């Protein structure tokens, strides 16, 4: 674990369409409330490139907007080898994401990787994929991401 103040974080889910774009937007909002957003690089990616170049899922955009956060300008991208050198933290939303991240980790990686809830809160909770769910599921994911973002902000 890095002990110096962190300056960058990459949130990762499967397709970079639901959870990780929401986490990017929520974490940026939490840091903005604390006056720290300008000094931290925040991004998101997917372990797969299914949606590369697309905007986040409309339901993620909607739940973020409901809470005063605009993620509509984000575009999906896939996790790249250089991300392991360019970010202090790379955080997966669930254990399958963390496994996929570790499988892509190059030998010269400098990023700390792990499960968002573990790194942020010391918990072992997964952020479930709401893709096949309802608006209620997206709201639940928002609340989980908000809680984790508040915890994670203490490391920045």
Going from the N-terminus, what domains does the chain have, and what CATH number goes with each? 8-155 (3.40.50.2300)
Catalytic (active site) residue 13: yes
- With bands split at pLDDT 50, 70 and 90, how would you rate the model's confidence at 6? confident
CA 52, CA 77: separation in Å to the nearest integer? Answer: 5
DSSP β-bridge partners for residue 89: 9, 112
Tens of pLDDT, residue by residue over 51-87, are 999 999 999 999 999 999 999 999 999 999 999 999 9
Tens of pLDDT, residue by residue over 83-120, are 999 999 999 999 999 999 999 999 999 999 999 999 99
Catalytic (active site) residue 129: yes
Mean pLDDT, residues 140-151 taken together: 99
- With bands split at pLDDT 50, 70 and 90, how would you rate the model's confidence at 4? low
Question: What is the reported pTM?
Answer: 0.96
Q: Of 13, 18, 57, 83, which is the active-site residue?
A: 13
Q: Please give the pLDDT value at position 83.
A: 99
Q: Of 18, 19, 59, 76, which is the active-site residue?
A: 19
Tens of pLDDT, residue by residue over 17-42, are 999 999 999 999 999 999 999 999 99
Q: Of 41, 75, 129, 140, which is the active-site residue?
A: 129
């Amino acid at each position: 674990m890095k002990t110096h103040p962190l300056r960058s974080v990459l949130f990762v889910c499967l397709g970079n369409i639901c959870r990780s774009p929401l986490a990017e937007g929520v974490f940026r909002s939490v840091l903005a409330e604390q006056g720290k957003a300008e000094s931290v690089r925040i991004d998101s990616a997917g372990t797969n490139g299914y949606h590369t170049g697309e905007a986040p899922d409309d339901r993620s955009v909607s739940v973020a907007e409901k809470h005063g956060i605009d993620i509509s300008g984000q575009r999906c991208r896939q996790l790249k080898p250089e991300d392991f050198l360019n970010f202090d933290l790379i955080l997966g939303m669930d254990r399958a994401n963390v496994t996929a991240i570790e499988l892509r980790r190059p030998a010269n990686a400098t990023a700390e990787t792990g499960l968002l809830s573990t790194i942020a809160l010391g918990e072992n909770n997964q952020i479930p994929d709401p893709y096949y769910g309802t608006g209620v599921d997206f709201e639940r994911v928002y609340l989980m991401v908000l809680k984790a973002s508040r915890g994670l902000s203490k490391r920045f």
